[in-house]
Structure 1
């Protein structure tokens, strides 16, 4: 062993996973300490010097996030490296939460042994080097104290600069800066230049040049900060936008703190800038998704409400079956659209979904090209097909084993033509009046999609022809656009 062992704490509520981590990490030659819960881990930390903590995010009683927060509250463990293991797909928000709690890295499950060993080895070596550096620093400080006061001030300034640089580099998207309030001189580190999209060679850091990179609507934030420091404020934080020289707009959060002289006058302002553009974009995507979900839910509920209100039946059981069938048809098409992120649905997939409840063998023949339907068209056509299948299974060709059904479709000049031809079933008679299903089918195809639905009640079987425009404006108004106009058509269809 060419180095002193360091302690690595493994925290997981599942013994099998702890054993797996021990097997993976034993070749590192470090001392592995086991804890089967967050409480047990805290007890170990109070008694043992730990270099690296490997902790499962999902644990009962005290999960990884809560454990990390409690560890960071203790001064002894504020710099202890923590690596989270997660068996689920974590979102950007969860990752950000983990890093805020003090995690230095994430390891997904299944764990790749080589990757886990490499990460643990890096932080174990960093821990050893940090301890060695601390010992060397103590010796150096003893020698520095004997030197002149000017050398001590130079050393302190160098240490402060190094701390700012290390903090910015460690955070990845951070930059630090320093402003001499008296002379007006600025100091930016590498991270600050990177955030603003400029280089030290081509950009002179002056108040005027910095202001030129701020978004016009956020320039007042800089003026407000200066005014606050002149009033005696010692710390200030704000969100603002910058416009890089290439035109890209980035969101940042800036934190600044003032240093004063003995008289209380501000002599220096130092701060940190963090690029939060990705977080802002994630928030915008989340808000957009929430609005889309709300819109789709309202439309679906409006249609479901119309189905429930307008369905007619002589018996309760028949009524329940009819309502459930129509709502299930709506749910099936929603599932198909969700799988495509509401980009559309294949016509053949809609037909297959409606066929699924029936065991019809070779009674049905399908023929037609692949046709991609817009969301609103898909929803309306799915309900229409449901009505046709339901009526055929009750009264038409699909109600007997001898019955046959042929469905074929074609597209010409953005017009979908679908033919439904039944044969071999019970003798067909032209109905004296149209039921709700037929009337709602006509209303949805003709009024909502601007198409046509024709019925030929032949004695040998129903012949139905549907013509649906594929580019009708009402069918392209957005995801989930089956609005209350459709419900109104059903209302009129119900008579």
Structure 2
């Protein structure tokens, strides 16, 4: 029969005897380990798992009794089976001493092979069975530990779930209820009372009172649920609104499950109510934001389309450069506005974004207090500033290293005044006609913002004065986007 081999240690100082023991025991099919002295046997024991020890009583240095005593002192070998072989007549006292040292049996010399094999086989099989039982016991303990850990984990999850439910109920976000379908009796927990905004001490829970707290447009949901349960439906979920006694409207989602008797008749309905008002409001804000983003995107595309259509240039390269510059200016102000969730933009930030590509060191000086611009005003001024910077870089003060540009602004009575003053650049001459940039700047500032743009083409450099109302009482202050959408039409008129 196939089985796991065990190690049998043979200890004797005479090689001939060891060889004889090997010949006798080899038919057992076990692993035979040889030791020619007590000390060698101890070394083997420390390195190898031994099932049975066959040891000669009479050995020099360390005899069998002394070796047995040393083996038994080690906790790992206290149960290892030891069989003594003795070539001398063993008295009862010697046997008793051997048993005290841990021997399990004696084999006299001359050795009868069949007897020795039988004794070794019995103890080897006993060792094997003991190990198998230990493994089974370990496996059982592992299973018990795993099952215990699983139960503890399930218990922890259940406790955590109950804690979350308790926290939700305590926060007024969740409530549970029970309705006896036969008697009509209702039971609400504290969370249910909190959601509906009533007190358990002065509110009687019955169908009429509950219906009175439902939003008039959602009363049919209750009737529909009752009809569904009467038809055999076992679960139902719906969203509905309640109107608290103080007039506040709250959104809720209700989940109900029916319990039926043996005949299939509904006898009880239990459910949970969750206050989802905040989620509904967040969804409304998200939908509003999506519509606003769509609206602003269309306005931006319309403005970009006008820029592309109305830009004029003698060469393709110049045309591409002008279009890219104006669209990039629009993109930069959109980035600034998006970072503020379209609440507005600081004027200084707009100016810094526009002058950033020039890297002119000390040629530009800025002076002014912080001014927060509305989105529409920021977009228009960003394009106006872009035109001023572009013209200055091409023809004005910023086209030479000696040129100087001073930009100053102030606010008084909700009127923003911005002064653009160039000096030290090329000689300036009053243009015979206004280009697209100048015309679009005038149209946007005057028509869109209700302000004024004045140009003084001085020989030493351009002086431009922009006056922009920060609060409009015209169509510009109506719904977001109407004023922005007008920009394309204004640009078209400017190009004409």
Question: In which range does the TM-score fall when normalised by the shorter chain?
Answer: 0.5 to 0.7
Q: In the superposition, relative to structure 1, how do residues 315 and 159 fare at CA in structure 2: closer, same or farther (>3 Å)?
A: closer
Could you tell me the TM-score, scaled by structure 1's length? 0.65
CA distance 1:159–1:395, shift in 2 (3 Å): closer
- Alpha-carbon separation, structure 1, partners of 2:117 and 2:243: 42
> Is the alpha carbon distance of 1:146 and 1:406 closer, same or farther for their aligned partners in structure 2, counting shifts above 3 Å?
closer
Q: CA deviation at 1:322?
A: 0.7
> Which position in structure 1 is the counterpart of 2:229?
229
Contact 1:376 1:481 (8 Å CA) reproduced: no
Structure 1 residues 430, 194: closer, same or farther in 2, change over 3 A?
A: same
Displacement after TM superposition at 1:145 (Å): 29
- Relative to structure 1, is the Cα distance of residues 272 and 292 closer, same or farther in structure 2, using a 3 angstrom cutoff? same
Aligned length: 495
Name the SS for the 1:255 alignment partner: strand
1:362-397 superposed Cα distances (whole Å, 9 cap, x missing partner)? 212222222221111111011001100100010001
Q: Which of these two proteins has the greater Rg computed from alpha carbons?
A: 2
Give the 3-state SS of the residue equivalent to 1:466 in structure 2: strand
Aligned residue for 1:294, secondary structure, equals helix
SS of residue paired to 1:145: helix
**In the aligned structure 2, how far is the partner of 1:344 from the partner of 1:151?**
57
Q: Deviations over 1:422-451 (max 9, x none)?
A: 111111111111111011111111111111
**C-alpha deviation, 1:71, in angstroms:** 53
Deviation at 1:458, TM superposition (A): 1.3
Maintained 8 Å contact 1:342/1:480: no
2:477 maps to what in 1? Answer: 476
Name the SS for the 2:361 alignment partner. coil
More deviation in 180-189 or 291-300? 180-189
CA distance in 1, matches of 2:96, 2:477: 37
Q: Closer, same or farther in 2 for the Cα pair 1:136/1:488, shift >3 Å? A: farther
TM value normalised by structure 2: 0.65
After superposition, the Cα gap between the structure-2 partners of 1:458 and 1:336, relative to the gap in structure 1 and judged at 3 Å, is same
Q: Verify the 8 A CA contact 1:421 1:461 in the aligned structure 2.
A: yes
For residue 7 of structure 1, report the CA deviation from its aligned partner. 36
Higher deviation after alignment, 16-25 or 251-260:
16-25
User: Structure 1 residues 33, 469: closer, same or farther in 2, change over 3 A?
Assistant: farther
297-306 vs 119-128, greater mean Cα deviation: 119-128
1:174 deviates by 2.8
- Describe the SS at the equivalent of 2:61: coil
Deviation string 1:197-233 (CA, Å, 9 cap, x unpaired) is 3332232211111112211211121122222323333
Compared CA separation, residues 324 and 129, structure 1 to 2 (3 A): farther
Give 1:291 shift.
Answer: 0.8
Which 5+ residue runs of structure 2 have no aligned equivalent?
Answer: none
Conserved in 1, the CA contact under 8 Å of 2:170 and 2:191?
A: no
Once structures 1 and 2 are overlaid, which stretch shifts more, 426-435 or 468-477?
Answer: 468-477
Output the CA distance in 2 between the equivalents of 1:26 and 1:17.
14
Contact 1:300 1:482 in 2 (8 A): no
Q: 1:121 to 1:302 in 2, by over 3 A?
A: farther
Stretch moving more, 193-202 or 300-309: 193-202
Preserved CA contact (<8 Å) 2:238 2:255:
yes
2:358 match: secondary structure:
coil
- Three-state SS of the structure 2 residue aligned to 1:146 is helix
Q: Distance in 1 between matches of 2:452 and 2:435?
A: 18
Q: In the superposition, relative to structure 1, how do residues 457 and 282 fare at CA in structure 2: closer, same or farther (>3 Å)? A: same
- Worse-superposed segment, 284-293 or 255-264: 255-264
Distance 1:92 1:333 in 2: 110
Indicate how the Cα distance of structure 1 residues 296 and 167 shifts in structure 2: closer, same or farther if over 3 A, else same: closer
Native 8 Å contact 1:416 1:467 kept in 2: yes
Q: Residue 249 and residue 141 in structure 1: after superposition, are their counterparts in 2 closer, same or farther (change >3 A)?
A: farther
Further displaced range: 82-91 or 258-267: 82-91
The residue matched to 2:440 in structure 1 has which SS? helix
> Do the aligned partners of 1:250 and 1:277 also contact (CA within 8 Å) in 2?
yes
Give CA-to-partner distance per residue, 1:62-96, whole Å, 9 cap, x none.
Answer: 99999999999999999999999999999999999
Q: Deviations over 1:455-491 (max 9, x none)?
A: 1111111111111111124543355555331101101
More divergent stretch after superposition (62-71 vs 407-416): 62-71
Inter-CA distance 205–171: structure 2 relative to 1 (3 Å threshold):
same
Structure 2 CA distance for aligned equivalents of residues 15 and 148 of structure 1? 55
Using the TM superposition, give the Cα deviation of residue 265 of structure 1 relative to its aligned residue in structure 2, in angstroms.
Answer: 2.8
- 440-449 vs 209-218, which moves further: 209-218
- Stretches of structure 1 that go unaligned for 5 or more consecutive residues are none
Greater shift in the superposed pair: 440-449 or 84-93? 84-93
Assess, with a 3 A threshold, how the Cα gap between structure 1 residues 168 and 303 changes in structure 2: closer, same or farther: closer
Q: Over residues 261-305 of structure 1, what are the superposed CA-to-partner deviations in whole Å (9 max), with x where a residue is unaligned?
A: 333332222222222222212211211111111111111111011
Say if 1:144 and 1:152, in contact at 8 Å, map to a contact too: no
Q: Is 212-221 or 44-53 further displaced after alignment?
A: 44-53
Q: Is the 8 A contact 1:251 1:280 kept in 2?
A: yes
Tell me whether 1:61 sits opposite 2:22 in the alignment.
Answer: no
**Compared CA separation, residues 159 and 296, structure 1 to 2 (3 A):** closer
C-alpha contact (below 8 Å) 1:374/1:476 kept by paired residues: no
Q: Distance in 1 between matches of 2:471 and 2:187?
A: 59
Distance of 1:46 and 1:365 partners within structure 2: 88
Q: 1:117 to 1:378 in 2, by over 3 A?
A: farther
Q: Are the structure 2 counterparts of residues 200 and 371 from structure 1 closer, same or farther at C-alpha, using a change threshold of 3 Å?
A: same
| Matching of residues 260-279 of structure 1 within 5 Å | 260-279=260-279
Q: 1:449 to 1:153 in 2, by over 3 A?
A: closer
